[in-house]
Chain A
Amino acid sequence: MNNKSKKTIKLLSTVVLGMFVFSFALVPLYNVFCEVTGLNGKIELKATTEKGLENQDGRDISIQFISHNNEEMPWIFKPSEDKIKIKTGKYHTATFYVRNTTSKRMVAQAIPSVAPSNAATHLKKLECFCFEQQELAPGEEALLPVKLLFDNDLPKSIKNIVLSYTIFDVTNYKDAEMSQHQNSIDYQEDHVMETSI
């Protein structure tokens, strides 16, 4: 095989490798793209650090809260108020009622979404229960707060906003990891015992 062929092969292999890496790079690219543009109604899961958002010359908008339980998530999860009227440029605190109806300790994660999606970039949250996982004992209940603001740049055409939260059962994720860990420890202990005998 001549040198020219070797060069072509090297080049093509680099392309292959590069495209494989690119497929993984699509993940952060997609998230950044969604966050920057607010497409998909995706909201950043962290508190805003922007200052000076509050002012008095806001306009009236209404916000509708929706809650969903993912799959067979058994908790009761619902907004305290279905619909509120607020002004842009003013923080407002809303709450969601949640109760663990099971007899097990469970961990949940809420994921927010905004419709229409072009309102997403104008939504700023100082605090939100969706920033962290919620762990509730059997029968325990709680009021989960979200402190939010829509900035004044919210497009004029938007008068009603739907803010939806889906609650996911993430208990098993923790359990699976822990039991796997436990198994490997058990195995090691057994193994040690065998050899000592």
Chain B
Amino acid sequence: MSAVIESHEQDHHHGPPKGITRWLFTTNHKDIGTLYLWLSFAMFLIGGAMALVIRAELFAPGMQIVEPEFYNQMLTLHGLIMVFGAVMPAFVGLANWQVPMQVGAPDMALPRMNNLSFWILPFAFIVLLSSLFMEGGAPNFGWTFYAPLSTTYAPPSVTFFIFSIHIMGASSIMGSINVIVTIMNMRAPGMTLMKMPLFVWSWLITAYLLIAVMPVLAGAVTMMLMDIHFGTSFFNAAGGGDPVLFQHIFWFFGHPEVYIMILPAFGITSHIIETFSRKQLFGYTSMVWAMTSIAILSFVVWAHHMFTVGMPLAAELFFMWATMLIAVPTGVKVFNWITTMFKGSISYETPMLFAIAFVVLFTIGGFSGLMLAITPADFQYHDTYFVVAHFHYVLVPGSIFAIMAGVYFWIPKWTGNMYDERLGRLHFWLSFISVNITFFPQHWVGLAGMPRRYPDYALQFADWNMVSTVGAFMFGASQILFLFIVLKTLMGGKKATAEVWESSRGLEWTLESPPPYHTFTTPPKVN
């Protein structure tokens, strides 16, 4: 009997252990969230450095800095690392920190699996990056790894690439199962599905998308592996396979994947805009339905990535219309954010600045997406810099701005310290200006016909490429400022109150800042 009481007491005084083992063995959602966010930032810098190699080479026409083969490797790794290493882990990190606190749960449902799903990730990226030092170089076939470029013509390191994709997939799947089980089963009493904060909703939908499509990606790379090593012919026409099949399977994964990278951003933006407009969100229910319909539609639009592959008219029309249909729920969201701000008492702290920039610039990315959805026009735009401009607009000032907005929004809660508002705004304006200098001109060179994925280009594109490169280096440098701001906030600063922001809503703001190591061990009551 006394032994039982003793162990109970130990539990009460249980805080984080000291040293490296705290991070290696942690099952705490806050610690794991922090780990994910740091990994993501490290990958963001590595992927960013690769982007700068690309932009430096494109500063002027002709070959100056790198060999074309190395350029291709940079291009491939930049894409893979930014998608799988920077954006996705950042959202998982935010989910780990926020989801349990927002639904009033003590931790994630499966804490040990949570530890596993984080700690296999660094190894995946070590495997992927180590291919740079292998004979034949790193993967060089673009982040979409179309067969037969990634099978018949791939460097030997492709096997390591496949292995790392498998690990990343396993990590994402475990993470998503964790999120769904937490949200479905561990909400505080009284928190019905339609009372959940929108970030939680966005992650619930994202997690379902992840468990539906990550196994398909795993299947695609497994087929590649079999084609390369076991003599099968999934994608090899000589043996009865079809390379076009690869594109179908890849984009069946790939299109939901791009919504995986944007849906949590919708959730974050909704919280920030309602907080700094000091108003309730204009239409909560319509936001939930908009996100759900975007997720469902994402499964039936994949072939718009391959209009030029040779499809019958009926299929081209179907995929064109289905794609354009997505503009409707997306429009619902954008109008929702605008009407939330309408007549609000808006203040422009850093998170709000990033959130407003997100709405404006993501919408620009959405519009160029609509242009690309028009099949006959896509034959002109396909594989040009217009596409590059489009997806960088939705991913950089889209996803990444939303992640940064989320970090500024919640970091006072996480650390107990306010970040330096002056530096935060400086970071915002530097990022906002440089991101547009970098990517806006790419629309023009793309429309003028500059193809993507080449290390060299025709002379008429020289001026705007130079501008683009200058912007890219500015953007890169601004992110060092971001690192500095985060470190400064960790060191100290003005103490944050529990609610942090004047009109913050949600369970996480009822906890002190920083929150205790274990929160909501007794579930809170939701009215």
Contacts of B7 in A (CB 8 A): none
Q: Which residues of B contact A2 (CB under 8 A)?
A: 185
* Contacting residue for A12 out of B180, B237, B312, CB 8 A: B180
Chain A proximity of B282: nearest CB distance (Å): 32
B249 interface hit (Cβ, 8 Å): yes
The answer on a CB contact under 8 Å between B218 and A118 is no
Interface check A150, CB cutoff 8 A: no
- The CA of A109 and the CA of B237, in the complex, are separated in Å by 10
A9-B181, A26-B248 known; A15 and B238 CB under 8 Å? no
Are B212 and A20 touching (Cβ within 8 A)?
Answer: no
Q: Specify which chain A residues have a CB less than 8 angstroms from the CB of B244 in the assembled complex.
A: 40
Query: Is residue A45 within 8 Å, beta carbon to beta carbon, of the partner chain?
Result: yes
Contact B242 A42 (CB under 8 A): yes
Contacting B at CB under 8 A, from A146-171, are: 166, 168-170
Which of A17, A111, A169 is packed against the most chain B CB atoms within 10 Å? A111
Name the residue on A nearest B174 (C-beta): A16
Residues of B within 8 A of A (CB-CB), count:
37
Are A30 and B245 in contact (CB-based, < 8 A)? yes
Q: Which residue of B lies closest to A73 (CB)?
A: B238
Which 10 residue pairs spanning A and B have beta carbons closest together? A23-B219, A168-B238, A20-B215, A19-B215, A23-B216, A5-B185, A12-B177, A8-B181, A4-B185, A111-B237
Decide yes or no whether A39 CB sits under 8 A from chain B.
yes
- Judge if B19 is at the interface, Cβ distance under 8 Å: no
B309-326 contact mask (Cβ, 8 Å, vs A): 1 or 0: 011100100000000000
Taking A12-B211, A13-B177, A168-B237 as contacts, is the C-beta distance between A27 and B185 under 8 angstroms? no
**Chain A contacts for B190, CB-based, 8 A:** none
Please give the distance in Å from B225's CB to the nearest CB on chain A: 13
Interface residues of A in 84-125 (CB under 8 A from B): 109, 111, 117-118
Cβ of A187 under 8 Å from chain B:
no
Bound form: Cα–Cα A2–B238 in Å? 53
- Whether A176 pairs with B238 at a CB distance below 8 angstroms is no
**Does B88 sit at the interface, judged by CB under 8 A?**
no
Residues of A near B212 (CB, < 8 A) are: 15, 19
Q: Of residues 155 to 180 in B, which have CB atoms within 8 Å of A's CB atoms? A: 173, 176-177, 180
Question: CB of B17 within 8 A of chain A?
Answer: no
B330-368 contacts to A (CB < 8 Å): none
Residue A70 at the chain B interface, CB threshold 8 Å: yes
A26 and B311 alpha carbons, distance in the complex (Å): 17
Question: In the complex, what residue of chain B is closest to A70 when comparing beta carbons?
Answer: B238
Q: Does A177 contact B (CB under 8 A)?
A: yes
B240 contacts A45, C-beta separation under 8 Å: yes
A/B pair count, beta carbons within 8 Å: 100
Interface size on A, residues (CB 8 A): 40
Least Cβ distance of B148 to chain A in Å?
Answer: 10
**Interface hits, A29-44 → B, CB 8 Å:** 30-31, 34, 37, 39-42
| A9 neighbours in B (Cβ, 8 Å) | 110, 177, 181
Q: B223 within 8 Å of A by Cβ?
A: yes
Interface residues of B (CB under 8 A from A): 109-110, 173, 176-177, 180-181, 184-186, 211-220, 223, 231, 234, 237-240, 242, 244-245, 248-249, 252, 310-312, 315
- Asked if residues B237 and A1 are in contact (CB atoms below 8 Å), the reply is no
- B183 to chain A: closest residue by CB: A8
Of all chain A residues, which has the CB nearest B217?
A: A23
The answer to whether A30 and B312 have CB atoms under 8 Å apart is no
- Smallest CB gap from B207: residue in A: A12
Chain B residues near A22 (CB-CB < 8 A): 215-216, 219
Nearest to A7 among chain B residues (CB) is: B185
Query: Which of A23, A117, A176 has the largest number of chain B CB atoms within 10 A?
Result: A23
CB-based contact B245/A27 at 8 Å: yes
Q: Which residue of B lies closest to A167 (CB)?
A: B238
- In angstroms, Cα B177 to Cα A15, docked, is 10
Inter-chain contact A19/B231, CB cutoff 8 Å: no
Q: In the complex the two chains form, is B237's CB within 8 Å of A166's CB?
A: yes
Is B185 a contact of A30 with CB atoms below 8 Å? Answer: no
Neighbouring B residues of A27 by C-beta, 8 Å: 223, 234, 245
- Once bound together, how far apart are the Cα atoms of A22 and B215, in whole Å? 9
Report yes or no: B181 in contact with A5, Cβ–Cβ below 8 A. Answer: yes
B215 near A12 with CB under 8 A, answer no
A residues near B181, Cβ cutoff 8 Å: 5, 8-9, 12
Known: A2-B185, A5-B109. A23 touches B240 (CB 8 A): no
19 extra A-B contacts, CB within 8 A, seeds A8-B185, A31-B242 = A4-B185, A12-B181, A16-B177, A16-B211, A19-B215, A23-B216, A24-B219, A26-B245, A26-B249, A34-B242, A37-B312, A70-B237, A109-B239, A111-B238, A117-B310, A168-B237, A173-B238, A173-B239, A176-B231
Residues in chain B near residue A42, CB distance under 8 A: 242
Q: Which residue of chain B has its CB nearest to the CB of A166?
A: B237
**Chain B contacts for A45, CB-based, 8 A:** 240
Residue of A17, A23, A109 near B238 (CB, 8 A) is A109
Inter-chain CA distance A27–B252, complex, in Å, is: 13
The CA of A48 and the CA of B245, in the complex, are separated in Å by: 25
- Asked if B177 and A23 make an inter-chain contact with CB atoms under 8 angstroms apart, the answer reads no
